[in-house]
Structure 1
Amino acid sequence: MPGALREETVQLMADYLQHRLGGGGGGGAAAVLPPSRTAETLRRVADELESRERPSFRSACTAAALPQEPGEAAALLGRVAAQMEAEGGLNWGRVVALVVFAGNLAAALAERGARDQTAALAEALAAYLAGEKREWLEAHGGWDGFYHFFNKHGSDAADQNSTISNAIMAAAGFGLAGLAFLLAVR
């Protein structure tokens, strides 16, 4: 099971980062389709959070002074994950916030010609979530738990979007502006 969880996590993180960077790179419609219902949910929920908090995430990436050496971006992501967890523990909203931060970091790196660091970011996210936080992830139903958390059945689409939006912001529960400060003083 741990191997399967890690594999699924790597796939989800890589898919989201490629989605955030504008596609799968292979061209064609099939390259941009999510590989699973969980991947589709992650894209949707992360896109909503990124859309709502775009200035905060971009500010955080600017404050990060974008690492130039391979591996530095992944190390930065690890420090952000540790800080988020220290501010109140892990929850699905914080997982989404971390994924969105990684997506913004990958986009900023790609703009500077360092798109090759995307795979390292996906691996770092997977190592953190399916490695360090495996027990938490399993206790919360794994990625099926994530899917069900953000896909409550029995409500209409408008109600569903409002529920997702409120859940993200309530669950994230950490100051995105504080993230920029954290990175500025690192």
Structure 2
Amino acid sequence: MPSELAAETAQLVDDYLQHHLGGSALPATRTAQTLRRVADELGSREQPFFRSACSPAALPEPGGAAAHLSRVAAQMEADGGLNWGRVVALVVFTGTLAAALAERGAPRDEVAALAQALVAYLAGEKREWLEAHGGWDGFYHFFNKHGSDATDQNSTISNAIMAAAGFGLAGLAFLLAVR
């Protein structure tokens, strides 16, 4: 795993989890701000889905969250490959799962293992995909390339997220249903 990509991925995942869990996050980079914005939008738009996906009945056994995330990532990818929308969906799923684990009183190391699993997946298993798509700079530009009008940009971002993540969410729902 190239150290620069892994370090940036870890920083972005940690920043988002701190943001999502209400902790004290460091001042966000432009990419972290974009990740927060698009993940919050997807999480808000699909809140019932993500909450049900991480309900007490859907939660993995204690200590199994990282393996559960790995299965979800594999299922989403099997449904049509990786794209930026699916990356955002995985980040939102990880944040929602981390919040559910925290509410359940899971040890902090289980939440940390969850973050490490997402970083290993993105910066390890999917390193070549990330590099081919411009790394995290590519992510930033993908979600910030449309127009200067904030309303138009938000609509475009919303449509891009849902178009890219849609089939992945269907696969996630299937995986959780057969669990």
- What TM-score, normalized by structure 2, do the two folds share? 0.93
For the structure 1 residues 153 and 185, does the alpha-carbon distance in structure 2 shift closer, same or farther, using more than 3 Å as the test?
Answer: closer
In structure 2, runs of 5+ residues without a counterpart are none
The equivalent residue for 1:12 is 12
CA contact (8 A) 2:13 2:115 kept: yes
Say if 2:139 is the partner of 1:146: yes
Of stretches 47-56 and 115-124 in structure 1, the one that deviates more from structure 2 is: 115-124
- What TM-score, normalized by structure 1, do the two folds share? 0.89
Matched residue pairs, number? 178
- Among 105, 114, 120, the alignment partner of 2:97 is 105
The equivalent residue for 1:23 is 23
Question: Residues of 2 paired with 1:61 and 1:77: CA distance?
Answer: 11
- Among 170, 177, 181, the alignment partner of 2:174 is 181
What are the Cα deviations for residues 156-177 of structure 1, in whole angstroms up to 9, with x where unaligned? 1111100110010011132535
CA contact (8 A) 2:62 2:106 kept: no
The equivalent residue for 1:33 is 27
CA contact (8 A) 1:63 1:180 kept: no
In structure 1, runs of 5+ residues without a counterpart are 25-30
- Aligned to 1:152, the other structure's residue is in SS state coil
Task: Compute the RMSD of aligned alpha carbons.
Answer: 1.7
Letter in 2 for 1:47: D
Question: Residues of 2 paired with 1:82 and 1:175: CA distance?
Answer: 10
Question: Residues of 2 paired with 1:138 and 1:106: CA distance?
Answer: 27
Question: Residues of 1 paired with 2:157 and 2:105: CA distance?
Answer: 34
- Aligned to 2:167, the other structure's residue is in SS state coil
Letter in 2 for 1:2: P
The equivalent residue for 2:164 is 171
Letter in 2 for 1:125: L
CA contact (8 A) 1:46 1:99 kept: yes
Q: Structure 1 residue 153: deviation in Å?
A: 5.1
Say if 2:14 is the partner of 1:3: no
- Aligned to 2:148, the other structure's residue is in SS state coil
Large movers: runs of 4+ above 4 Å: none
Letter in 2 for 1:96: V
